C-alpha cells in the first residue's frame, strides 16, 4: 500500500463516519508545493460546503480526530481548510522496506476483477500498416498491460478489416491480371497496387463498378475460387502484420475479422426491426436518436449491404456471450467518436449489460503541424517508420559507443529506436495531437525513453560494481534530502499505475518515470553509494528499488530495458 493510500484509508473512514452522505472520492493528493507537506486533503472544504459549516474549524477537527499513521508528523491546517501531512524519516524507511519485500512494488490489486476485452490496432487486409495505426496499437497494448497488472482478466482483440466493398475492387483487378502469385516478400505492395487499379477502374467506369459488386457478391456467396483468393490475401497480409507486431513486442489473444460475423448480420438487423429499435427508411434500415445526431445510424443500405455498425453490433454480442466480457474498450482515433456513441446507445437498447468504452486519441503531426506523411505525401508506412527509428538510433550509438560490435550495435539500436517511438507516442495526453520530431524523440536528455533507460542502466552498473548477485536486504536509513525525495517517489509507483489505468492515460506513468529518473540522477550525484561503508547497504537498496520500478514501469508501456547502454 502506498503512503497516499495508507492516509487515504484513514481520511475516508473519518469521512464515512462523520459525513456518510458525501460522495466517496479520493480525498488525499500529493502537495503541489512540498514546503507545505507531502500530502494534503480538501475533505474539510467539501464537507463544510455540504453541511454549511466553517471549513477552517472543520479542518482543525479533522486534524485532531484523524491522526496520520505512526511516524508521521502532526498534521497542520492551511488556507481555507486544507489539512497537510508530512511523512517522518523513520516511517519513510519502514515503508521503503515494505516496498522492497513486495513483489508487486506497491501496485494494488483490484477488489473486483473484470473480464475486459481491449479492441485495438485493427488494420485492413491487403493494405500496409501506416503511421495512423501506431497510436491505437501502442495505446491498446499499454492499457491491456496496465489492466492485467491491476488484476483484471484481459483479452486482447485485433478486429481486422477483412470483408466489404474493397474486396470486390481488389478481386476485380487481381483476376483481370490473371491471378498472379503473391510473393511473400512484396505481398502488401502487390495487393495495394491491385486495389488501386481496381478502385481507379470502378471510379472511371460504372460497368467496372458493377463487375466489382458481382465479384464481392460471389465472394460473399462462397464461390470457391474467390474464397481461395481472399484467403491468400488474408494470409499474406497476416504475415506483414506479424512482422510489425513482432518488432513492436505486441501480441493478441484473439484475431477476428469482420468476416467472422458475416452470417450473424441478418439476425442483428432483424432483431433491431422486431424490437422497434430500427426502422426502414427509403429502403435502408436505420436507428434514430436525435439526442446523438439528427442524422440516423445506418445499419443496412438500401441495396442490402451491411456496414461497420452492423458488424460491431454482432461483435459486441459475441464478446459478451462467448467471451463473457464485463467491459469492452475500443481504442481508435478521435474521428470515430460519433460512431461509438451510436454503437453504444444501440447496443444498450438491445440489452447489452457490459460496460462499453471508447478510448480515443489525437493525431501525429509532422513539423508543419499537418498529419505526418511520407516525403511523397502518402501515408507513412509503419515498416518505414520502424526502420528509420532503428537506423537513427544506430547512428547515435556509433558515436557514443564506437567499441560496439556490429551485432550488439544492431540489437541495441533496434531496442532503443523502437523504445523511443513507443515512449514518445504515449508521452502526450492521448486526446491531444502531437508534433513528431526525431531529434527530440531520440535525445538522451529531457523526457525521452533514452533518458529513462539510461537511469536504469546506471542502477545496474552500480549493482554490478557492488558485486551483488541477489537483491539487497538492508533497510533504508534516510540521511540526506536526496534519499528522502527518491524514497518517497518510489512509494508513489502504485499510485501512478492506478491513475494511468483508471484514467486510461499512460502519459501519467510516463510523467512518473521521467520524474523518478530525474530524482535518481540527482541522488546519484549527491549520495555516494559505494564509498561510505555505513550507508552503502541502505543506498544499494534504494538503487535496486529504483531499477526495479523503472524496469516494471517501462514494461507496462511495452518497453524492454537493457543492462548497459
Domain 3-87 architecture: 2-Layer Sandwich (3.30)
Burial (0-12, 13-18, 19+ Cβ within 10 Å), 410: middle
Closest CA to 142 of 562, 564, 563, 553: 553
Q: So what CATH class is 385-556?
A: mainly alpha
Closest CA to 253 of 156, 393, 136, 366: 156
pLDDT at 7: 94
Asked whether the beta carbons of 194 and 177 are under 8 A apart, the reply is: yes
pLDDT at 1: 65
Asked whether the beta carbons of 558 and 138 are under 8 A apart, the reply is: yes
SS3 labels along 377-429: CCECEHHHHHHHHHHHHHHHHHHHCCCCCHHHHHHHHHHHHHHHHHHHHHCCC
CA atoms within 13 A on the CB side of 356: 22
Asked whether the beta carbons of 116 and 213 are under 8 A apart, the reply is: no
Alpha helices in 79-183 (DSSP H): 89-100, 134-149, 165-176
Question: How far is residue 198's CA from residue 208's CA, in Å, rounded to a whole number?
Answer: 8
**Could you read off the pLDDT of 234-262 as tens digits, one per residue?**
999 999 999 999 999 999 999 999 999 99
pLDDT at 229: 97
Rg (CA), the chain: 28
Residue 370: C-alpha distances to residues 427, 449, 505 (Å): 19, 25, 24
Would the pTM of this model clear 0.95, i.e. be above it?
A: no
Structural domain boundaries in the chain: 3-87, 385-556
All 3 cell numbers of residue 418?
523502437
CB atoms within 10 A of CB 399: 7
Asked whether the beta carbons of 537 and 529 are under 8 A apart, the reply is: no
pLDDT at 34: 85
Contacts of 226 (CB under 8 A, 6+ apart): 171, 215, 218, 219
* Residue pLDDT tens, the chain, 565 long: 689 989 999 999 999 999 998 887 789 999 988 888 999 999 999 999 999 999 999 999 999 999 999 999 999 999 999 999 999 988 999 999 999 999 999 999 999 999 999 999 999 999 999 998 999 999 999 999 999 999 999 999 999 999 988 999 999 999 999 999 998 889 999 999 999 999 999 999 999 999 999 999 999 889 999 999 999 999 999 999 999 999 999 999 999 999 999 999 999 999 999 999 999 999 999 999 999 999 999 999 998 889 999 999 999 999 999 999 999 999 999 999 999 999 999 999 999 999 999 999 999 998 888 888 877 777 889 999 999 999 999 999 999 999 999 999 999 999 999 999 999 999 999 999 999 988 888 999 899 999 999 999 999 999 999 998 888 889 899 999 999 999 999 999 999 999 999 999 999 999 999 999 999 999 999 999 999 999 999 999 999 999 999 999 999 999 999 999 8
Burial (0-12, 13-18, 19+ Cβ within 10 Å), 231: exposed
Question: How far is residue 295's CA from residue 475's CA, in Å, rounded to a whole number?
Answer: 65
pLDDT at 470: 85
Closest CA to 364 of 438, 433, 448: 433
Contacts of 147 (CB under 8 A, 6+ apart): 116, 118, 154, 501
All 3 cell numbers of residue 245?
507486431
Amino acid at each position: 500500500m502506498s503512503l497516499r493510500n495508507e492516509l487515504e484509508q484513514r481520511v475516508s473512514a473519518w469521512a464515512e463516519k462523520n459525513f456518510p452522505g458525501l460522495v466517496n472520492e479520493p480525498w488525499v493528493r500529493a502537495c503541489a508545493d512540498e514546503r507545505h507537506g507531502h500530502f494534503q486533503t480538501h475533505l474539510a472544504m467539501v464537507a463544510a460546503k455540504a453541511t454549511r459549516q466553517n471549513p477552517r474549524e472543520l479542518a482543525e477537527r479533522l486534524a485532531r480526530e484523524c491522526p496520520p499513521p505512526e511516524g508521521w508528523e502532526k498534521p497542520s491546517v492551511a488556507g481555507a481548510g486544507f489539512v497537510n501531512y508530512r511523512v517522518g524519516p523513520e516511517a519513510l524507511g519502514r515503508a521503503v522496506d515494505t516496498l522492497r519485500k513486495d513483489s508487486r512494488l506497491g501496485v494494488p490489486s483490484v477488489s473486483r476483477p473484470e473480464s475486459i476485452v481491449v479492441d485495438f490496432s485493427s488494420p485492413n487486409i491487403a493494405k500496409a500498416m501506416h503511421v495512423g495505426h501506431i497510436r491505437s496499437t501502442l495505446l491498446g497494448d499499454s492499457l491491456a498491460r496496465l489492466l492485467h497488472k491491476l488484476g483484471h482478466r484481459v483479452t486482447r482483440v485485433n478486429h481486422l478489416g477483412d470483408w466489404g466493398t474493397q474486396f470486390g475492387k481488389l478481386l476485380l483487378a487481381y483476376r483481370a491480371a490473371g491471378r498472379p502469385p503473391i510473393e511473400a516478400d512484396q505481398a502488401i505492395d502487390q495487393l495495394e497496387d491491385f486495389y488501386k487499379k481496381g478502385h481507379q477502374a470502378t471510379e472511371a467506369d460504372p460497368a467496372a463498378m458493377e463487375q466489382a459488386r458481382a465479384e464481392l457478391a460471389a465472394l460473399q456467396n462462397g464461390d470457391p475460387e474467390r474464397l481461395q483468393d481472399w484467403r491468400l490475401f488474408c494470409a499474406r497480409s497476416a504475415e506483414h502484420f506479424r512482422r510489425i507486431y513482432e518488432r513492436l513486442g505486441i501480441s493478441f489473444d484473439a484475431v477476428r475479422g469482420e468476416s467472422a460475423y458475416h452470417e450473424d448480420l441478418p439476425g442483428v438487423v432483424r432483431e433491431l426491426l422486431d424490437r422497434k429499435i430500427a426502422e426502414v427508411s427509403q429502403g435502408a434500415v436505420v436507428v434514430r436518436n436525435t439526442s446523438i445526431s439528427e442524422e440516423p445510424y445506418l445499419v443496412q443500405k438500401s441495396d442490402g449491404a451491411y456496414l461497420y455498425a452492423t458488424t460491431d453490433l454482432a461483435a459486441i454480442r459475441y464478446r459478451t456471450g462467448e467471451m463473457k466480457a464485463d467491459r469492452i474498450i475500443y481504442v481508435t482515433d478521435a474521428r470515430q467518436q460519433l460512431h461509438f456513441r451510436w454503437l453504444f446507445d444501440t447496443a444498450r437498447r438491445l440489452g447489452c449489460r457490459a460496460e462499453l468504452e471508447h478510448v480515443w486519441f489525437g493525431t501525429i503531426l509532422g513539423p508543419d503541424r499537418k498529419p505526418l506523411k511520407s516525403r511523397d505525401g502518402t501515408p507513412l508506412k509503419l515498416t518505414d517508420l520502424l526502420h528509420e527509428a532503428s537506423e537513427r538510433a544506430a547512428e547515435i550509438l556509433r558515436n557514443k559507443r564506437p567499441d560496439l560490435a556490429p551485432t550488439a550495435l544492431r540489437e541495441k539500436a533496434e531496442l532503443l529506436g523502437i523504445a523511443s517511438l513507443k515512449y514518445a507516442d504515449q508521452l502526450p495526453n492521448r486526446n491531444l495531437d502531437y508534433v513528431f520530431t526525431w531529434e527530440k524523440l531520440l535525445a538522451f536528455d529531457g523526457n525521452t525513453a533514452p533518458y529513462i533507460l539510461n537511469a536504469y542502466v546506471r542502477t545496474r552498473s552500480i549493482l554490478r560494481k557492488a558485486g551483488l548477485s541477489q537483491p539487497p536486504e538492508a533497510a533504508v536509513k534516510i540521511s540526506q534530502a536526496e534519499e528522502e525525495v527518491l524514497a518517497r517517489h518510489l512509494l508513489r509507483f502504485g499510485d501512478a499505475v492506478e491513475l494511468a489505468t483508471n484514467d486510461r492515460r499512460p502519459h501519467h506513468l510516463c510523467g512518473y518515470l521521467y520524474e523518478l529518473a530525474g530524482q535518481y540522477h540527482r541522488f546519484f550525484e549527491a549520495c555516494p553509494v559505494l564509498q561510505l561503508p555505513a550507508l552503502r547497504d541502505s543506498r544499494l537498496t534504494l538503487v535496486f528499488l529504483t531499477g526495479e520500478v523503472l524496469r516494471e514501469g517501462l514494461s507496462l508501456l511495452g518497453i524492454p530495458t537493457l543492462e548497459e547502454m
